[in-house]
Structure 1
Amino acid sequence: MTKAEATATGLDLPPDAKVGIIAGGGSLPVEVARGLALHGYRPFILLMEGEADRQQDLRGYEHDSLELEQIGSLVTTLKRHGVTHLVLAGEIKRRPRLTHIRPSLGLLAIVPSVIMALARGDDGLLKVLTRGLEKRGIKVVGAHEVVPELAAVEGTLTSVAPKRSDWRDIEAARQAAKAIGALDIGQAAIAIGGRAIALEGIEGTASLLERTRDLRGHGRLAGKTRGVLVKCAKPGQELRADLPSIGPQTVEAAHAAGLAGIAVEAGRSLILEGPATLDRANALGIFIVGLPITEPADGR
């Protein structure tokens, strides 16, 4: 696909853009890089040391490395490589060690904002980071904006569809996920029998599903069948970073937890390794549904 064709399909990039990817863990940085290359944009990859775990797939592109404690030189590094647009992609499991951060004039200018953002939680920090970058001339864009095929679409995406009872679980889990999202705790919840039985904490979706599997194994959910995992963006979330995502591992874990399916917000959630994820869901008899958005977001 040429850049002109990419623009015609709604890709949110000018033809002369150079897109950088801050690469954390997981497959998202790889999928964003591949998608950009297919759309005619050769990406620049900034590998976060100790976090990016798909380096073999990413080092084929123009790249550099950065420690979390070198965050003060982020803008300088990006501008040295001519980056005009930036995607934050992949999991960053730890926070920088404040005592090890190397000071710079650019960093000192935003320290008060960062301290206040840390008090507000992960989403507050992401908002400060994105707005700070844009004030310095680098436009932050979401993975779903530059590689739109990663975003979930509305409707049933698998050959298996939810039953009527599953829709009760979907609604209950969605309400619970929105409630914890408003507190900046997590993005996911599980409902069984029409009520929420487990909520995502800071440890993430994989641990949520593992807890649910253990509850079944220990008899706490004896006689309870089916159930649904719902993932959705936090109310007011900065949508250019940390969108909810699912992949083949999510499907496997949902099946191991005895769930009937997974629901995500269409347009605000990512399906990683899309063909493999849907194929695995079909093979296991798990449904995947893209839900319509029910409220506006102020994060783009």
Structure 2
Amino acid sequence: MSGGANQHAARLALIAGNGSLPCQIADALQKAGREFRIVAIKGEADQKTRDRAQAELGWGEIGRLYKFLKSNGCREILLIGGVSKRPDFTSILGDFGTLKRLPTIIRALAGGDDSLLTKVIRLFEVEGYRVVGIKDVAPQLLAASGVLGNRQPTDSDWRDLELALTATRKLGELDVGQAAVAVGGRVVALEGAEGTDAMLERCADLKRNGRIRGRGQSGVLVKSAKPGQDLRVDLPTVGPRTIELAAAAGLSGIAVEAEGALIAEKDDTLKKADTEGVFLVGFDGVQCGEIPDP
């Protein structure tokens, strides 16, 4: 369903992958009275998203997608939600609009060091669409600055936070991951292709096996965008599951960049953080030295 009319903004197309974020964004847009349409990615979007979508299209149906956007008057696009499956382009065979754009698509996707999502953005921009980010349409879902829950970080937590942030910056330079964990003044885990959840599960195993030492809860997970990352897509995200896994790994807390990370299911996430005794912090700045003193 779309929200009420808004005379000051173009109609938005929400191209939705998996997870709960697409519906949360839709709720925020509807509350703000913003006109939008939902296009669910076939094989990715969950049932709740599909129930609300006006269209469900596969990876190869670019021609049908552009036709939908034009017929619905959508000039702006938001890409939201995860993509976990290998794209299936078999639908391209029945989509004339995709076939006639193949030279443009190949030029946009081939070569260069840009991420796949950045190249997808380029595809839309070539057709004259404006790709927007969360900050443009639902900034309230981004992490605010400061301590966001009831638990306060200790001095040692702030030191671990700085160390883990330094590690995420190095990871980002290599385009590897967006997260790292530091405990007791040393980096104990770096995020790779497995993702944050699997990394935290690995930390819990290391702690159970005595490879990570510490009394009670200690250590910090930091999630941070990569240097120079296009913040319209693939923002670092934390949610209730992140809190649960951080607590299971015995961590003191989680830090994300203020206005540069999403908090999924925000109320539930903050409530769970308080219940689990895990702090949640939004830090300012893009350099380690800009983290405020405790």
Superposition deviation, residue 72 in structure 1: 5.0
Which position in structure 1 is the counterpart of 2:258?
266
Which position in structure 1 is the counterpart of 2:241?
249
What is the distance in 2 between the residues matched to 1:74 and 1:184?
30
1:187 maps to 2:178: yes
Amino acid at match of 1:41: R
Identical aligned pairs, as a percentage? 44
Amino acid at match of 1:157: L
Which position in structure 2 is the counterpart of 1:240?
232
1:201 maps to 2:192: yes
Task: Provide, for residues 20-40 of structure 1, a one-character-per-residue CA deviation record: whole Å limited to 9, x for no partner.
Answer: 111101111111111000000
What is the distance in 1 between the residues matched to 2:176 and 2:90?
26
Gaps of 5+ in 1: 5-13, 296-300
The SS at the match of 2:111 is helix
| Aligned pairs (5 A) from 1:4-153 | 15-53=8-46, 55-57=47-49, 59-60=51-52, 63-71=54-62, 73-97=64-88, 101-102=92-93, 103-117=98-112, 120=113, 124-153=115-144
1:287 maps to 2:288: no
Task: Provide, for residues 70-122 of structure 1, a one-character-per-residue CA deviation record: whole Å limited to 9, x for no partner.
Answer: 245433332232211111000011342457644522233120331225xx3xx
Provide the aligned C-alpha RMSD in A. Answer: 2.1
Moved more, 178-187 or 66-75: 66-75
Distance 1:199 1:136, change over 3 A: same
Structure 1 segments of 4 or more deviating over 6 A? 1-4
Check the 8 A contact 1:173/1:190 in 2, yes or no: yes
Gaps of 5+ in 2: 288-294
1:277 maps to 2:269: yes
Q: How many residues are paired up?
A: 280
The SS at the match of 1:237 is coil
Task: Provide, for residues 195-233 of structure 1, a one-character-per-residue CA deviation record: whole Å limited to 9, x for no partner.
Answer: 211011112111111110111112211346511100010
Amino acid at match of 2:41: M
Amino acid at match of 2:24: E
Check the 8 A contact 1:3/1:39 in 2, yes or no: no
Moved more, 94-103 or 176-185: 94-103
What is the distance in 1 between the residues matched to 2:76 and 2:51?
19
1:160 maps to 2:151: yes
Check the 8 A contact 2:225/2:235 in 1, yes or no: yes
What is the distance in 2 between the residues matched to 1:104 and 1:222?
57
